[in-house]
Amino acid sequence: MTAISAWFSRERKTPIAEWWWTVDRELMFALIALMGFGVLLSFAASPPVAERIGLGPWHFTQRHVLFCIPALLAMFAASLVNARWARVVALVTLVVMIVLLALTLRFGVEVKGARRWISFAGQSLQPSEFVKPAYAVISAWFISEQMKRKDMPGHIFAALTTGLIVALLLLQPDVGQTALMLATYGALLFLSGISWWVIGGLGAAALGMGGLAYLAFPHVARRINAFINPETGDNYQAERALESLLEGGWFGKGPGEGIAKRYLPDAHADFVFAAGASEFGILFSLMLVGLICFIVIRALNLALSQHSLFNRLAASALAVQFGVQSAINLTVNLNLIPPKGMTLPFVSYGGTSMIAIGLGMGLLLALTRRKPEETFATGLPIRSALDNGGAK
């Protein structure tokens, strides 16, 4: 016990001790608690899905728990790096995953009419999951450099990177991930203080792309039509999810007692929130939503307190990305928007998603570690720059 406590001692100044005393432990433990919620909901939602496809009842639950280990390791390892190495990790990840994203179009596994997965030695990987956090960090770097040096075409680099990724995602097609990438890009533009006219123009372009997606992709049109006209009968999962949510009442039917979840095809993945509500109730679901809100708000507050412009933009982008992804999943479960195929971070089943989110949250923890010696000029018209007179 003495040896272990020595690792965290301030006097020893070991790398672990430095990490422990500078990382935001409230945010870190909230993320770990969210993983715990995911494991608990996996016990409730996964057995019926596994039995329906001829697997053992705990197949998905066991794999979910196993996926938590590399996700935790990725989060811990990423949280150890400084800002410079965060950029290096993000850049390498982005380049590799964009290449894999392109290869997926030719060699990927087709599932439900889309090629989003690529297989290696019997293991499947969804490159777009890793592209998301890496893109947020690298685009923040590009934009922050232009804000400090006007001769640096950072906005152009960020726009080109966004265009390349969006094009590859639409070719799969993956409209949900495309929307999330554009939301991240929009948040970065807003935080960088770009003209409202530009933001309005880009918003109009995004709406136009949504209309084109409706016309170009039959599955998108089918989901939107089913959402607008439920009587068409093509809204099965959303209707079962809503039944599952209402079935549990305030306190739930109890572990293993939910009925509606048994007829929910993706109860362990995209609709795990609805499946869990049937067994643990609305109050439990509100606790989960509250935890997600705490994570997003805490992350944004930490981001806005950073003196470094890059740290502030990158951490904000990662927090917004986490929050928007959570919001999309929850609103789909509540049947407020058409299904998007978006996981609930750290809660839904999916190894690639969990590890990628672990990497993203680790980078966020790294970028928001307390660094009192950091006094870089910000150039950003937000709280710290005004209070400190430009971080002298």
Check if the beta carbon of residue 43 is closer than 8 Å to that of residue 279: no
Task: Round to whole Å and give the CA distance between 376 and 367.
Answer: 14
CA–CA dist 261, 244 (Å, integer): 6
Query: Which amino acid, 181?
Result: M
β partners of residue 382: none
Q: Phi/psi of residue 384, each to 5°? A: -65, -40
List the 114-120 sheet strands across, edge first: 109-111, 114-120, 123-125
The model's pTM is 0.88
- Cβ burial of 215 (10 Å; 0-12, 13-18, 19+) is exposed
In contact, 345 and 359? CB cutoff 8 Å? no
Beta carbons of 243 and 216 less than 8 angstroms apart? no
The tens digit of pLDDT for each residue in 297-309 reads 999 999 999 999 9
Query: pLDDT tens for residues 155-173?
Result: 999 999 999 999 999 888 8
Residue 214: how many other CB atoms lie within 10 Å: 16
Other CB atoms within 10 Å distance of the CB of residue 24: 18
Q: How many CB atoms lie within 10 A of CB 335?
A: 18
Dihedral sign for Cα 284, 286, 288, 290, please. Answer: negative
Helices vs strands, H then E, count in the chain: 15, 3
pLDDT at 224: 75
**pLDDT at position 390:** 40
Kindly list the averaged pLDDT for each block of 10 residues, start to end, along the chain of length 392.
Answer: 59 74 94 95 85 84 94 96 94 96 85 76 86 96 92 92 93 88 92 80 78 74 73 68 77 70 74 85 92 97 93 96 95 84 89 94 95 45 40 36
